[in-house]
Chains A and B, each alone.
Chain A
Amino acid sequence: MILSFDIIILVFLIVAAIIALNVKDLLSSAMIFGIYGFLICLLWAEMGAVDVAFTEATVGAGVSTVLFIATILNTRRRSSD
């Protein structure tokens, strides 16, 4: 566990989470959620939980982003609130 590396990842995590919530375009929001997934994956790998990091990289950041995009393209793209 490297403290400075941790702090950098956590700051980026919070920034990515806030942007993903505030962006109006749902496609960009799904993309930024993928970035959030990869940052969490990096955090887990850095803490030594390599198996969980691997799962997060494949499921959380990879496939779920694709599923979000598939859903968004079949519905309306802009958020109403």
Chain B
Amino acid sequence: MNPKLYASIAVIITGLVLLYGISDFPTFGDPRSPANSGVEGGAPSTSLYYINESYGATKVPNLVTSVLADYRGYDTMFETVVVFAAGMAIFAILRCFGRDDEAVITAPTKSSIDGDHNRIIVGTTCRLAVPVVQIFALYVVAHGHHSPGGGFQGGVMLGASFILIALAGNLNDALGRFSERSYMTLASLGIIIYAGFGVLPQVLGKNFLDFGVLEKFFLTDGPEMARSHSMLGVEIGVALTVMSIMFAIFANLSSRGTLKGGL
């Protein structure tokens, strides 16, 4: 019979099982749920600890950033490494050196989005938009402590601004501003910055990523501000890696690894 029918039956059954599982959850925003208040009669939950203690310990108003970059800094570091590894995998699969003439014939040299290249409106709009996007991205990175945002979001926006240049003009414009050598260097530099913030406390005799002891380096009063500043440094490292890898993936995908022509 029709394979779509079987697929629909399987999907509907899975959906019903998932809905049945959800019926056991506490309601949304329930202050007495285990995640918010801790086990009944037992210890208070970890989220309560973060809500009560994290501002005093790190001086960072945005709870998400302080948990992500400080309390769970090890996770975030390897998330960054995962992004880096994804970029390297795409580079290893797609990038082709040498066989230029053969690859250029198959790769689309002109954009197939619009045939005619009278692109004054698109080009001008993108040229005006790119600085605004980049400045907002820097704001997102630098202001990740106080408002939503941080390294990943700001880095993706910075990478997207270079992708916008490549989409509006051609890939060579964008590669002229952000060459392969520089994005590979910056991607590695981001990881090194993050790992450096982890190793530095080890040199001073504390644990990996224990930012509190860095107060001597930052000339701040107390370990709280040192943790806050270290989070900013860590976010800058994440932003560098994510920005470079996003642009590297786009450049390799759109030009079939030749880095010529492209969309």
Contact = CB atoms under 8 A, between A and B. Distances in A.
B250 A74 contact: no
Q: Give chain A's interface secondary structure class.
A: helix
A69 B263 CA distance: 10
Interface residues of A, number: 18
A71 B159 CA distance: 17
A66 B163 contact: yes
A55 B151 CA distance: 10
Contacts of B246: 63
Main secondary structure of the interface of B (DSSP, over half): helix
Contact of A70 (B28, B62, B156, B254): B254
B160 A62 contact: yes
Interface string B226-263: 00000000000000000000100110011010000001
Interface of B: 28-29, 62, 64-65, 107-108, 112-113, 140, 148-150, 152-153, 156-157, 159-160, 163, 167, 246, 249-250, 253-254, 256, 263
Given A51-B149, A62-B160, 18 more contacts: A1-B28, A51-B64, A51-B150, A54-B140, A54-B149, A55-B153, A55-B156, A58-B157, A59-B152, A63-B156, A66-B160, A67-B250, A67-B253, A70-B254, A73-B108, A73-B112, A74-B108, A74-B256
